[in-house]
Chains A and B, each alone.
Chain A
Amino acid sequence: MTTTDEIQIERPEDFLSRERLVQRAGVMILFLFVVAGATGAFGNGPLSRATTTAGGVELRYERFGRTTAPTAIEITVTTGAADGEPVRFRIERRFMERLDQLELRPEGVFKGFDATYAVFEVPAIDGRGHVELHFKPQNPGVRDMSVVSDAGTAQLRQLIFF
């Protein structure tokens, strides 16, 4: 402990200057973390929103998500079918089985599983079938998904944070 005649107190200048440096760097890192969060690097923002189109299949989804935070995948399949006619598409079964607290909009469009796929059928409106999968991921990690239809095959990849 360094002391002066006036007061007995620790004055570790080297430590204090290092501490200030670390604090400044820390604040910068935290600021960047918040900016990343605000722009959607952890979901729910412009960086996260994504659209994939392949043939007549369009997927709107979030690239990044967080466990327990609600997220959605919107699937639009354009076939040119007349209003009310069925539009069919399939999603990989292993992806569907990993979805947690799944809510389908509209309801009643899931028709069952075959060996590899979950089969969906939705009445066409303006030549398109539109389905939304709303869910809350319970586990972190990377999720890949393909939507297969006669109009094309589109794929997406989601990264779910803790």
Chain B
Amino acid sequence: MNPVFRAIVMFAVLWMVFRVGGRRTLAELTTFDFILLLVIGDAAQNALVGDDFAMTTAALVIVTLMLLDLGVGRLSLQSNRLRRVIDSVPVIVIDNGRVLDRVLRREGVDLDEVLTAARERHGLERLDQIKYAIVERHGGISVVPKEA
């Protein structure tokens, strides 16, 4: 198959896998997640170039992937609805100190991770000092402290 079409197919497959798999930032990767990413990268590379090691092929694959990423990014700016589909939405997991357990579970985030973010970024010690904790589109956790 032409390398451009290989790149388009693999981009779609990887996008679907990671979109369905949920958001998780690099900082929160477990050792197994990291190994899994390496294996996925290796398998994707084989699918993208196979035994065709020409520089032109590599350039075509790289440029195609880059343009697709750029295109998807631009597309997500066109409408809020598209952006939701592409990047999901920020989700509140702590609302005025109250933990929204079901939402937390659904997002695959542990309460400890939220408390860690609260300690690291704001020096907060307790749950009741948190006004909002939000799992952002990119998978990071934002914490808004209660006003003293």
Which residues of A are interface residues toward B (Cβ below 8 A)?
A: 27, 30-31, 33-34, 37-38, 40, 42, 44-45, 66-70, 161-162
Report the separation of the CA atoms of residues A73 and B126 in the bound assembly, to the nearest whole angstrom.
73
Provide the bound-state CA to CA distance between A45 and B53, in Å.
18
> How many chain B residues touch A (Cβ–Cβ < 8 Å)?
19
Instruction: Type the 1/0 row for B38-70, where 1 means its CB is closer than 8 Å to any CB of A.
Output: 000000000000011111110110011011001
Q: Is the CB of A66 within 8 A of B54?
A: yes
Query: How far, in whole Å, are A47 and B57 apart by their CA atoms in the complex?
Result: 16
Contacting B63 at CB < 8 Å: which of A30, A67, A70?
Answer: A30
Q: Does B99 contact A (CB under 8 A)?
A: no
16 cross-chain CB contacts under 8 A: A30-B66, A33-B63, A34-B64, A34-B67, A37-B3, A37-B56, A37-B64, A42-B57, A42-B60, A44-B1, A66-B54, A66-B56, A66-B57, A68-B53, A70-B52, A162-B55
Binding site for A on B (CB under 8 A): 1-5, 51-57, 59-60, 63-64, 66-67, 70
**Complex Cα gap A37–B61 (Å):** 10
Q: Is the CB of B54 within 8 A of A45?
A: no
- Residues of B contacting A44 in the complex (Cβ-Cβ under 8 angstroms): 1-3
A31 contact from B52, B57, B59, B67, Cβ within 8 A: B67
Taking the closest CB of chain A, its distance from the CB of B64, in whole angstroms, is 5
> B45 CB to closest chain A CB, in angstroms?
15
Least CB distance from A66 to B in Å reads: 3
Nearest-Cβ distance from residue B49 to partner chain A, whole angstroms: 9
The residue in chain A whose Cβ has the minimal distance to the Cβ of B61 is: A37
- In the bound complex, residues from chain B placing their C-beta under 8 Å from that of A27 are 67, 70
- In the bound complex, residues from chain A placing their C-beta under 8 Å from that of B1 are 44
Q: Kindly identify which residue among A30, A38, A42, A45 contacts B56, using a CB–CB cutoff of 8 Å.
A: A42
- The docked-state distance in angstroms from the alpha carbon of A37 to that of B54 is 13
**Contact between B67 and A30, CB atoms less than 8 A apart:** yes
Residues from chain B with a CB closer than 8 A to the CB of A68 are: 51-54
Give min CB distance, B37 to chain A, whole Å.
26
Known: A37-B2, A67-B53. 20 other contacts (CB 8 A): A27-B70, A30-B63, A30-B66, A30-B67, A31-B67, A34-B60, A34-B64, A37-B3, A37-B4, A37-B60, A37-B64, A38-B2, A42-B56, A42-B60, A66-B56, A68-B53, A68-B54, A70-B51, A162-B55, A162-B56
A48 → B minimal CB distance (Å) = 9
Query: When the two chains form the complex, which single residue of B5, B51, B56 contacts A161, counting CB atoms closer than 8 Å?
Result: B56
Q: Which 3 A-B pairs have the closest CB atoms?
A: A66-B54, A38-B4, A37-B60
Bound-complex Cα distance A161 to B56 (A): 7
Are B54 and A161 in contact (CB-based, < 8 A)? yes
Q: A29's closest neighbor in chain B, by CB? A: B63
Docked pose: A42 CA to B2 CA in angstroms: 9
Chain B residues with Cβ below 8 Å from A45 are 2
